[in-house]
Structures are given as structure tokens and as C-alpha cells.
Chains A and B, each alone.
Chain A
Amino acid sequence: MTEPGLAIQVTDLHKRFGPLEVLKGVSLEAKQGDVIAIIGGSGSGKSTFLRCINLLELPTAGRVTVHGETIEMKPDGQGGLMPANRKQVQRIRSRLAMVFQSFNLWQHMTVLQNVIEVPIHVLGVPRDQAIATAEALLKRVGLFEKRDAYPAFLSGGQQQRAAIARALAVQPLAMLFDEPTSALDPELVGEVLTVIGDLAREKRTMLLVTHEMKFAREVSNHVVFLHNGMIEEQGPPDQIFGAPKSERLKKFISSIH
């Protein structure tokens, strides 16, 4: 049984792409208000891990529990798992907001339409209420003036901030950030990190896959280092960055700086 207060609990997650095992049994617990940074080299499985939580990738084995509710899975007949209850998956996904590396704003909608889309059409929020919330969120990320612009006309940083507003609009139980600044020009990284940092200080539950080590150290209260599909080391940021124990983590951190 999951104790209340756990936002996300992942137990023994495995993921296999054909012969390649990307995740070899990863477990993680995020309490409400936790900001967990997930770091690791490329190919370490950190993005896959994040995408398994909202089932954008179907895990081969393992269990995901969100706010005490375990996502029901059943065997898919090929040695993997598939969702047993589509409605449940949709309900849980709608409250696990994801922010993508490549923003993935819907290009045929304005910024405002992007933000109100899920509240209105998935969560059933009345339209005027959704618009009011969305405008407040857009003010917050500094995009109120751009609310009627189409995403193609925004800079990468603006698009990512709009995507964060879209994520906040569903009043997420937890937020999943998948390398939110990796596709940005260096001078645009700051504006996005500022927004994410503010959210972290608000004690929003978030899992953050990132390459920005300085930022991870600043905002997270727990850091997970993945290597070859396994958790090599985890702990509070000062310990991970200040006094890494494993050789691989030492090497990784020195290679980043």
C-alpha cells in the first residue's frame, strides 16, 4: 500500500527495445513537493524513464503509482505490458503535465488556445473559467501579450514558456520535464530556467530530466544519477555534486564542467 503524500511511486521499472534493455529495474519515490532531478549521460535511459511514467513508452515490467492510484497494466502477449484500462490512463495522464524538449505546442492554435485546449476538452472546465486561468498563467510566464500569436512566430524560449503554461493549466499533480532547455539557443535558456525555478520554489512536485547541472543543484531536493538503465547513485544535490561516491558519477560530473 502506498502511504499518502507520495505523488509518484515507480517500482522496478524495466524497458526493453528489442534486444536492448534501456531500463533495468528503476525504482523512485517522489513525495508531494519533491523536485527530483534526473541526470545521466546520453543513452542512460533518463528520458525513457520519464516517458514510461505517463506511458508514452510502455514499460516492459514494473509498476507506476500516481497519488496512490496504481496504473493497471496487463500483459501484451509479447512479453511486455499494455494498459488494462485506457480511461484510467487518460485520467492520470491529464494530471501529469509534461513539458517536452521540442515544446510540441499545437501549431494550428494560438498560444491561448494551446493553454485552454486540455482544460476545456479533456477536463471539462467551462470555457470562460479556462480562459481566465490561462490568461493568469500566461501573465505569469510573461506571455500575456503573445496570447493570440501562433507558436511558429515565437522564439524557442517563448514557446517553451507557453508549453509550461499549458502544463500548469491542468493543475498538475506532478510535472514531468523532459530536457526542457536542450533545444534552446544558449541565450534563451535563462528565461525558461527562471520560470521552472519559480515553480520549484512553490513546492510543486516535479521530475526534471536535465543537462543543466548548476540549475539541478539549485532547485532540486533530490538528484538521481542514471547509468546504463540503472540508478547508479542518488541523494541530496549537495552530496551528489559535492561529494559523489561512485567513479562513474565523478567522471560524469567532471566531464560536464
Chain B
Amino acid sequence: MSEPTTLPAYTAPRPRSLFEPHRIVLMAIFAVLVFCVVWFMRWDWLPNYGTRLAYGVGETLIMLFSTAIVGFMLAVPIGLVQVTGPRPLSWLALTFCTIIRGTPLLLQLWMLYYGLGSLFAQYPEIRQSFLWPYLRQAWPYGFTALMISFAAYEGEVMRGAFAGVPRGELEAAEAFGMSRFKLFWRIWLPRAIHRALPTLNGETVLQLKATPLIATITVVDVYGVISRVRQDTFLTYEPLLLLALIYLCLTGLLIWGFRLLENRIPTRGA
């Protein structure tokens, strides 16, 4: 027989101070870097482009949110039919996801803009239609390409999320007399979105960083503005560093926003 041993009471480790030696050194190096960037590099152009930069950031954010929201609304049915059927729709959704996810976004964008866009221009019917003022601009093609790409990736995420909702919870909804519509709207969809939130967070960040592609078809987003700065000032690093900082901040904000959403329903052990 072994003696009963009493475990020592658990004491949480003290949080490490911010001012430990190695941290101070790292912070000093970082401060020197920031100082060098500010002091030795050229930033005199910045005030001249303030308005345009703000406009570019706005354009980027509009593109991000509009494509993410519309894309997600498409992703829900795309994911759902792959779980529930009917077969033909499920195959259609699978084919769509495979093709879009299997080809580069840049290629899709150019196919739409240079391919479809120039095709449209050949038809007088289209040139005279009320849609032409939009179709002759670049942003509808950028929006469509980004939106379709988001729908395909998120369709796959939602397929997994729908399939992963425990069968028993859906059964309970059924057993309590919910109609199919209510079951979907009240139980299945919110439960699936809740499960998918962390993934959606990451995907939205990726979507943010896919937006500069639309600068290649002349939509002026924040990347487009920075390119313009580089052409005007013949500077390379300064504008690019600023651009990196801007994307970093936007990403931080996105992650923070999603965290707020995720924390509304606490999950255990995750």
C-alpha cells in the first residue's frame, strides 16, 4: 500500500513582466528600426496622398465586405445542397467549387475582365442596354471574380459546418415539431455558422489580401493608390512599407471583430 500523497496546492505561475532583459533588448531594437524608417527614409510625399489613400482604403474595404457578404450568401446554399442533395444540385455545387478553387483567382479575374468584358463590347444590344454604363467599368468584374471565389471557398467550409452539426440536435428540433424551414433557420444554420466562425475569420483575412488583384484591372484600391505613388515619386520601399502597415492594421481589425462575434457564444475547450 502506498501512502496517500497530498498534491501541493496549485499556484498559477506569475505572469512574466514586460520588462525582462531580453524583452527590453527586443523593444529597443524595434524602436531603433522604427526610428530609422521614419528618420532616414523619405516621407514628405505622404501629405499629398492622404485623401487618395483614404479613398483607396475605402475602396478596398467596400470590395472586401461586399464580396464577402454576397459571397457568403451564395456559400450557404452551395454548402447546404452538398449535404442534403438533391444529387444534381449537389454535383453542380461540387463542380463549381472544384473549378473555382482549382484555378488561380488572377486567371478568373482576367477571363472575366479581358475575356467577357471585350465580348460584351462586341454586341450592340449590350452596348445599348441600361447595364452598359456599369459593364464598361472595371469594378463589376472585380466584384464578380472576388465574390465567386469567396462563395466557392466558403461553400466548402459551410458544407463541412452543416455536416458537422450533431445529428441529435437536428433530431430534437424535428421531434419538437419544427418545420423544415424553422429547423434550418433556427437551429441548423446558426449552429453551422457558429462552428465555422474561426475558419471564416481566416478566410476573410485571405479575401482581404486577395483584393489587390483588382488593381490589375484598373480598379483603384489602396494597392492601386500606392502603385501610383511609386510611379510619381520613384520611391520603392517607403510606399510598400506603408502598404504593409495598412494591410496589417486592417487584418488586426478583422480578427478583433470576429473574436467579438465568436465570444458571444462561448465554446468549451476550444
Which residue of chain B is the closest to A172 with respect to CB atoms? B176
A107 touches B186 (CB 8 A): no
Q: Classify the secondary structure of B's interface with A.
A: helix
Closest to B192 in A: A108
User: Which of A37-90 touch B at CB < 8 Å?
Assistant: 54, 56, 86, 89-90
User: Judging by beta carbons under 8 Å apart, are A106 and B177 in contact?
Assistant: no
B182 at interface, CB cutoff 8 A = yes
Interface assignment of B187: CB less than 8 Å from any CB of chain A: yes
* Chain A 165-203 near chain B by CB (<8 Å), digits 1 or 0: 010001000000000000000000000000000000000
B268 touches A153 (CB 8 A): yes
Number of cross-chain contacts by CB at 8 Å: 71
For chain A, give the interface size range: 20 to 34
Q: How far is the CA of A86 from the CA of B266 in the complex (A)?
A: 36
A109 to B178 alpha-carbon distance, docked (Å): 16
Judge whether A122 and B175 touch: CB under 8 Å.
no
**A117-B186, A122-B182, A150-B265 known; A106+B169 contact, CB < 8 A:** yes
Residue of B nearest to A86 (CB): B179
**Please, how many angstroms separate the alpha-carbon atoms of A117 and B191 in the complex?**
14
Does chain B have a CB within 8 A of A98? yes
With contacts A121-B186, A150-B266, A153-B268 known, is A104 near B179, CB below 8 A? no
Given known contacts A108-B194, A150-B266, A97 and B176 CB-to-CB distance under 8 angstroms: yes
Bound complex: CA of A150 vs CA of B194, how far in Å? 13
CB neighbors of B among A85-101 (8 A): 86, 89-98, 100
Task: Answer whether residue A132 sits at the interface, using C-beta atoms and an 8 A cutoff.
Answer: no
In contact, A100 and B172 (Cβ under 8 angstroms): yes
Which of B174, B179, B187 makes the CB contact (< 8 A) with A56? B174
Which of chain B's residues have a CB closer than 8 A to the CB of A118? Answer: 176-178
Residues of A within 8 A of B115 (CB): none
- Do the beta carbons of A100 and B168 come within 8 Å of each other? yes
Is the Cβ of A56 less than 8 Å from the Cβ of B266?
A: no
Taking a contact as CB atoms under 8 Å apart, the answer to whether A94 and B174 are in contact is: no
B268 touches A152 (CB 8 A): yes
Residue from the list A54, A97, A104, A121 in contact with B178, Cβ < 8 A: A121
Q: Which residues of B contact A122 (CB under 8 A)?
A: 176-178, 182
A166 to B169, CA, bound (A): 13
B186 adjacent to A93 (CB under 8 Å): no
The reply to whether the CB of B190 lies closer than 8 angstroms to some CB of chain A is: yes
Q: How far is the CB of A234 from chain B (nearest CB, A)?
A: 25
Complex Cα spacing A102 to B178, Å:
19
Contact, CB under 8 Å: B176 / A170: yes
B231 within 8 A of A: no
The residues of B that contact A150 with a CB separation of less than 8 Å are: 265-266, 268
Sample 27 A-B pairs with CB under 8 A, ordered by A number: A56-B171, A56-B175, A86-B179, A89-B177, A90-B178, A91-B177, A92-B177, A93-B175, A96-B175, A98-B172, A98-B175, A100-B168, A100-B172, A103-B168, A104-B169, A104-B172, A105-B169, A106-B172, A106-B187, A107-B191, A108-B190, A117-B176, A118-B177, A118-B178, A150-B266, A152-B268, A153-B266
Interface, chain B (partner A; CB < 8 A) = 166, 168-169, 171-179, 182, 186-187, 190-191, 194, 265-268
13 new A-B contacts, CB < 8 A, other than A89-B177, A98-B176, A106-B169, are: A90-B177, A98-B175, A100-B168, A100-B171, A104-B166, A105-B169, A106-B172, A107-B166, A117-B176, A118-B176, A118-B178, A122-B176, A152-B266
